[in-house]
Amino acid sequence: MKFTLDYLLTNTMIYWTTGSIISTTRFYKETLKTNIENRLDNEFRNIYSYFHQGSHFAALEEARLLADDLLQFVRKVKLF
């Protein structure tokens, strides 16, 4: 694990105690239950990257992989 259980609990409690956990989880409930072909973000799926390690918290768990992936994307669109 790349971050501690204490960190995960603190992060979760921030969402819970501020009342923003509902809006945060609503996105997943409404979009992930549908077929990807019918989702609103379907047109952007060709820019998504899938890592073979880590999980939902890529910036915390695999920061180097995420940074390399972002740099590769920026080079592809010639912004770099």
Task: Tell me the C-alpha distance between 80 and 73, whole Å.
Answer: 9
CB 55 within 8 A of CB 1: no
Break the chain into its structural domains and give their ranges: 1-45, 49-80
pTM of the model: 0.50
Q: How far is CA 75 from CA 47, 71, 78, in A?
A: 13, 6, 5
Average pLDDT over residues 4-26: 87
| pLDDT score for 27 | 75
Q: How far is CA 28 from CA 39, 45, 53, in A?
A: 12, 16, 21
Whether the per-residue pLDDT at 14 is higher than 60: the answer is yes
Residue 59 CA from chain centroid, whole number: 8
Q: How large a percentage of the chain has pLDDT more than 70?
A: 76
Q: To 10 degrees, the CA torsion angle through 55, 36, 40, 34?
A: -90
